């Protein structure tokens, strides 16, 4: 085996391939069912069928012993007639996957950049890397929209292609037409993947006539119901088509797929009727999914629905759903937390899905919320954050810290403790480091550093600033009504890195004693290790006697502690690393369906 490795391209040896899901036949074998009876909702397939004329055409076709027409002129003309585009602007492929790969093979030189907006279709990354391009990922916003400003700012002279999937896979949302036009006006190639265009409110097909740099990907897999035959097409400028035709395999689409495509285009009434049925069922499914308390469901213009899933143990949930013989697509990453993509099935299958989800809901409701205090319950911008700034500047001589420096150091794992954050910020700035250097230069403090004379001096000065004046500048971030509503359904506790005395002062200052008892407060002194270690959260779970708690925080340290404790995490803020993100703790009754 080791001798054979020398024959493989070096970048492929450690290559992360695109991982797909089990086939319907594998699932049928595991469930002991007929394949047609499997509730397979994990691959965006169309269960509303394809035209009967496809089977008739394939059954009566007498030329499978011949090679296809390498230019697929008849099929291209039929597609062109359907979408009102000259056939010279169209090329067909073995699914749009092949066409995406051919496009990158045609255009990318080593080192060329491709701008992508994840989460999106996983094959983009695979094809870009295989064709030796550089991926520039601009993460989507918390509602999975594209950040136009960040996207435009990422473009430079090495950028060759911009990718937009609209409606997006896996999140189901379209990109506004005006944003697409702004990207087109950069002059870069824009690959617009409209695999789900037939299920959307509108298409951007007409822009091909105006913009020669627009490359529009389409497929028969979704709307026409022939995913297994692999038939896609691309619409773009005639010159780009002619160049792409040079490098495709001579017979890249098989005769069965071509024959099926022609039959479908001769019976569009059937396909349109099924698209209408699916849209109607999508609306019903969306409404039913909204009733599941642990799902945050997003509107969709595709043949699937995307949802964040907030459960204590995602593997337990997966096993439960598998035992119920209902299969959905799972995603887990910093960008989406734990999420599901659910294909819109036939009505009877969707009923089975909702029954399974509801069954898990009844057994797995959260019995408690553990809150971080700073930035979640209490606004500390004019208290602790201000104190860090004052403390550091008290000791600095040749430079001064600013609020942006404070925010940057607090983003780094290991600096949940404000004394540690102050010490490290002083050290970095005194060495001439800027905030751009912090993430790679900052190291968690050793036990020895925390016992040093300077650390103790800095800590004393910090306490002086905070206790004498700054703690009176704090404001409550959550209403008592929200806490009252939450407390009716579950236990409430706090896990904070504040010293106990300071945490109790805040609770009393804002009149929160009826929500947070001193026994249910885990402060700095109450656990051996601070966040990002899970110790404070585990101790809080023990004291409140919780089986299924959720943790609410606002920093990366909170997130890491929650993951280490195996708690679902709600992020208060605009970042993308929580299982659920929301702007304010006042939204918790909504996002937790409490």
* Cβ–Cβ < 8 Å for 204, 216: yes
**How far is 560 from 215, CA to CA, in rounded Å?**
41
DSSP string, 322-354: HHTTEEEEEEEETTTEEEEEEE---HHHHHHHH
**Three-class HEC string of 20-62:** CCCCHHHHHHHHCCCHHHCEEECCCCCCCCCCHHHHHHHHHCC
Do 52-269 and 368-376+474-591 have matching folds?
no
Question: How buried is residue 105: exposed, middle or buried, by Cβ count under 10 Å (0-12/13-18/19+)?
Answer: middle
Query: Radius of gyration over alpha carbons of the chain, in Å?
Result: 28
Size (the chain), residues:
594
The whole-number pLDDT of residue 594 equals 59
pLDDT tens digits, residue range 475-496? 999 999 999 999 998 999 999 9
The whole-number pLDDT of residue 539 equals 96
The whole-number pLDDT of residue 593 equals 65
**How far is 80 from 87, CA to CA, in rounded Å?**
5
What CATH number belongs to 368-376+474-591? Answer: 3.40.50.1000
pLDDT tens digits, residue range 222-267? 999 999 999 999 999 999 999 999 999 999 999 999 999 999 999 9
* Cβ–Cβ < 8 Å for 355, 39: no
Under the phi-then-psi rule, with left for phi > 0, alpha for psi from -120 to 50, and beta for the rest, what region is 471?
alpha
Partners of residue 369 on adjacent β-strands: 492, 550
The stretches in the chain having pLDDT less than 70 are 1-2, 361-365, 593-594
**How far is 478 from 375, CA to CA, in rounded Å?**
10
Domain parsing of the chain, residue ranges: 20-44+272-362, 52-269, 368-376+474-591, 384-470
**How far is 378 from 573, CA to CA, in rounded Å?**
14
> 247, 245, 261, 329: which is closest to 40 by C-alpha?
329
Alpha helix locations (H) across 112-204? Answer: 123-130, 148-153, 177-184
> 186, 203, 181, 191: which is closest to 85 by C-alpha?
203
Is the domain 20-44+272-362 a CATH 3.90.1150.10 member?
yes
CA distances, 216 to each of 229, 276, 303, 583 (Å): 21, 23, 19, 35
**How far is 266 from 114, CA to CA, in rounded Å?**
38
**How far is 418 from 286, CA to CA, in rounded Å?**
44
* Cβ–Cβ < 8 Å for 594, 481: no
First to last CA, the chain: 55
Residue 580 main-chain phi, psi, to 5 deg? -135, 140
> 185, 149, 163: which is closest to 107 by C-alpha?
163
**How far is 413 from 443, CA to CA, in rounded Å?**
9
**How far is 306 from 443, CA to CA, in rounded Å?**
38
Any idea of the CA torsion for 91, 93, 98, 101, to the nearest 10 degrees? -10
Fold of 52-269: 3.40.640
């Amino acid at each position: 085996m080791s001798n054979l490795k020398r024959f493989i391209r070096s970048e492929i040896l450690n290559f992360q391939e695109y991982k797909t899901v089990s086939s319907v036949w594998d699932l049928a074998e595991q469930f002991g069912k007929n394949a047609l009876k499997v509730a397979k909702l994990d691959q965006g397939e169309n269960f509303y069928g394809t035209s009967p004329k496809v089977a008739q055409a394939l059954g009566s076709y007498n030329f499978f012993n011949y090679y296809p027409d390498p230019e697929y002129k008849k099929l291209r003309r039929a597609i062109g007639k359907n979408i009102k585009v000259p056939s010279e602007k169209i090329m067909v492929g073995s699914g749009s996957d092949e066409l995406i790969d051919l496009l990158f093979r045609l255009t990318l030189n080593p080192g060329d950049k491709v701008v992508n907006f994840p989460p999106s279709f996983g094959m983009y990354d695979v094809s870009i890397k295989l064709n030796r391009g550089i991926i520039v990922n601009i993460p989507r916003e918390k509602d999975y929209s594209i950040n136009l400003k960040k996207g435009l700012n990422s473009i430079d002279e090495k950028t060759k292609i911009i990718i937009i999937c609209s409606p997006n896979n896996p999140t189901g949302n379209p990109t506004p037409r005006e944003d697409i036009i702004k990207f087109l006006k950069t002059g870069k190639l824009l690959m617009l993947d409209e695999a789900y265009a037939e299920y959307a409110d509108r298409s951007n097909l007409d822009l091909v006539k105006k913009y020669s740099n627009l490359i529009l990907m389409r497929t028969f897999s979704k709307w026409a119901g022939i995913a297994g035959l692999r038939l896609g097409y691309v619409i773009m400028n005639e010159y780009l088509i002619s160049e792409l035709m040079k490098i495709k395999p001579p017979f890249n689409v098989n005769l069965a797929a071509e024959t099926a495509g022609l039959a479908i285009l001769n019976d569009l009434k059937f396909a349109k009727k099924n698209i209408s049925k699916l849209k109607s069922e999508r609306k019903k499914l969306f409404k039913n999914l909204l009733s599941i308390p642990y799902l945050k469901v997003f509107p969709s213009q595709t043949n699937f629905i995307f949802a964040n899933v907030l459960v204590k143990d995602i593997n337990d949930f997966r096993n439960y759903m598998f035992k119920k013989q209902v299969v959905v697509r799972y995603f887990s990453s910093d960008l989406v937390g734990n999420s599901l993509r659910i294909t819109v099935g036939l009505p009877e299958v969707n009923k089975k899905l909702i029954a399974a989800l509801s069954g898990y809901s009844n057994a797995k409701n959260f019995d408690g919320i553990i809150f971080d205090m700073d930035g979640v319950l209490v606004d500390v911008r004019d208290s602790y954050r201000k104190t860090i700034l004052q403390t550091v500047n008290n000791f600095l001589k040749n430079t001064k810290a600013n609020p942006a420096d404070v925010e940057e150091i607090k983003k780094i794992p290991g600096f949940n403790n404000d004394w540690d954050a102050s010490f490290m910020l002083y050290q970095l700035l005194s060495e001439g480091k800027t905030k751009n250097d912090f993430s790679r230069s900052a190291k968690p403090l050793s036990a020895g550093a925390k016992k040093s004379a300077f650390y103790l001096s800095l800590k004393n000065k910090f306490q002086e600033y905070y206790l004498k004046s700054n703690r009176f500048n704090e404001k409550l971030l959550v209403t008592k009504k929200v806490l009252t509503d939450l407390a009716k359904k579950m236990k409430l506790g706090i896990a904070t890195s504040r010293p106990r005395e300071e945490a109790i002062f805040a609770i009393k200052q804002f009149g929160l004693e009826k929500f947070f008892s001193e026994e249910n407060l885990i402060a700095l002194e109450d656990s051996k290790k601070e966040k990002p270690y899970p110790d404070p959260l585990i101790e809080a779970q023990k004291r409140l006697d919780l089986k299924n708690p959720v943790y609410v925080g606002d920093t990366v340290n909170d997130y890491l502690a929650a993951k280490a404790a195996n708690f679902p995490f709600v992020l208060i803020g605009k970042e993308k690393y929580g299982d659920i993100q929301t702007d304010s703790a006042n939204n918790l009754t909504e996002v937790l369906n409490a």
